[in-house]
């Protein structure tokens, strides 16, 4: 049976590569940095230009499709996932890294139909790693199949997380407290590369057992969610139960044993949903 969405996925890979070239070129020049919700929530002209390039190209090739993009939403576009084929795009995941030249920056393109994720493309452009996954067809990095770690022991695991951009002291206390509890389980280590999409691809690659964060957005995780599940991993909410793409909370793990063990230690809190209006 022909794959309805393969053409869209091929296009996403082409766009991610093109966007990656723009991001790498921009690193050589002066970046125009702006703030969004706070002084630590950054955006650059490159984020906006790359998103515009992706939207324009998608609209030309797939005029019926819908679009949710980080910078379009910041500019006031609605963030609503409908049944329509929808591209969910973060033009630069890891903007703070990008601004500082910290070498983990990704272009993240997820695609959903009937509210179900169909494929994900994450291009970690400085590392030149193209992560791809199509539902039921496996996950790959530069064409090589990905498989999550088979570790079941939490005390033999590495867990990834981020401090995020929330500077509310109560939230920061909870973030530290969760990390402290997880570190003292003990685990082998806590890591985080500053990009939700790349952290999740590291779970898919088998080098970290789990990643969780509160405060991310649907465009940070949509593409990588397909990559994690196609690599054999699981996705859940930070309090257990199914992951809700619009809830701004995610836990990706190699298996349910590790995922549920982490859930017990996380001091959860809520963030304003992506689909609030
Ligand atoms: C980033 C996420 C990261 C999170 C940052 C930020 P952006 O996305 O990937 O996990 O800790 O606060 O949300 O803003 O660079 O696309």
CB 192 near ligand 1, within 6 Å: no
So what's the pLDDT on residue 269? 96
The model's pLDDT over 211-234, given as tens digits with 9 standing for 90+, comes to 999 999 999 999 999 999 999 999
Ligand 1 centroid–CA 94 distance in Å is 5
| Nearest Cα residue to 232 out of 254, 249, 211, 215 | 254
Distance 195 CA to ligand 1 centre (A): 6
What would the DSSP string read from start to end of 105-156?
Answer: -EEEEEEEETTEEEEEEEEETTTTEEEEEETTS-EEETTEE--------GGG
pLDDT of residue 113: 98
Two tokens, residue 172: 């920061």
195 lines ligand 1 (CB under 6 A): yes
Distances (CA, A) of 24 to 19, 21, 107: 9, 5, 11
Confirm or reject: Cβ of 220 under 6 Å from ligand 1: yes
**DSSP per-residue letters across the chain:** ---TTHHHHHHHHHHHHHHHHHHHHHTTS---EEESSSTTSEEEHHHHHHHHHHHHHHHHH-TT-EEEEHHHHHTT------SS-EEEEEEEE-HHHHHHT-S--EEEEEEEETTEEEEEEEEETTTTEEEEEETTS-EEETTEE--------GGG-EEEE---S---HHHHHHHHHHHHHHHTTT-SEEE--S-HHHHHHHHHHTSSSEEEEES--HHHHHHHHHHHHHTT-EEE-TTSSB--TTTTEEEEESSHHHHHHHHTT--------TT--
Q: How many angstroms from the chain centroid is the CA of residue 137? A: 20
Whole-number pLDDT of residue 69: 96
230 CB under 6 A from ligand 1?
no
Phi, psi (deg, nearest 5) at residue 137? -125, 10
**Segments in the chain below pLDDT 50:** none
Domains of the chain with CATH codes: 6-145 (3.30.540.10), 154-263 (3.40.190.80)
Cβ–ligand 1 distance for 213 under 6 Å, the answer: yes
User: Would you call 260 exposed, middle or buried from its count of C-beta atoms within 10 A (0-12, 13-18, 19+)?
Assistant: middle
Give the pLDDT confidence score for residue 1 in this predicted structure: 67
d(CA 125, CA 23): 8
């Amino acid at each position: 049976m022909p794959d309805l969405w393969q053409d869209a996925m091929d296009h996403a890979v082409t766009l991610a590569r093109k966007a990656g070239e723009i991001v790498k070129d921009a690193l050589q020049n002066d970046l125009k940095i702006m703030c969004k919700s706070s002084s630590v929530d950054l955006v650059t002209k490159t984020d906006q230009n790359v998103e515009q390039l992706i939207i324009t190209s998608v609209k030309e090739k797939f005029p019926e499709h819908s679009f949710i993009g980080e910078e379009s939403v910041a500019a006031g576009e609605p963030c609503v996932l409908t049944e329509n084929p929808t591209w969910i795009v973060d033009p630069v995941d890891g903007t703070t890294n990008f601004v500082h030249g910290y070498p983990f920056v990704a272009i993240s393109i997820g695609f959903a139909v009937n509210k179900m994720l169909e494929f994900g493309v994450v291009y970690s452009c400085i590392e030149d790693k193209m992560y791809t996954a199509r539902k039921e067809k496996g996950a790959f990095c530069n064409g090589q199949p990905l498989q999550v770690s088979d570790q079941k022991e939490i005390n033999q695991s590495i867990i990834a997380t981020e401090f995020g951009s929330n500077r509310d002291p109560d939230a920061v206390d909870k973030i530290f407290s969760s990390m402290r509890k997880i570190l003292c389980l003990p685990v082998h280590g806590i890591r985080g590369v500053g990009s939700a999409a790349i952290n999740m691809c590291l779970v898919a690659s088998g080098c970290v057992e789990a990643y969780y964060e509160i405060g991310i957005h649907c465009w940070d995780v949509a593409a990588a969610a397909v990559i994690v599940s196609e690599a054999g991993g699981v996705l859940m909410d930070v309090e257990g139960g199914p992951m809700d793409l619009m809830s701004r909370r995610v836990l990706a793990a190699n298996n349910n044993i590790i995922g549920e063990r982490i859930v017990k230690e996380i001091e959860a809190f809520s963030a304003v949903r992506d689909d609030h209006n």
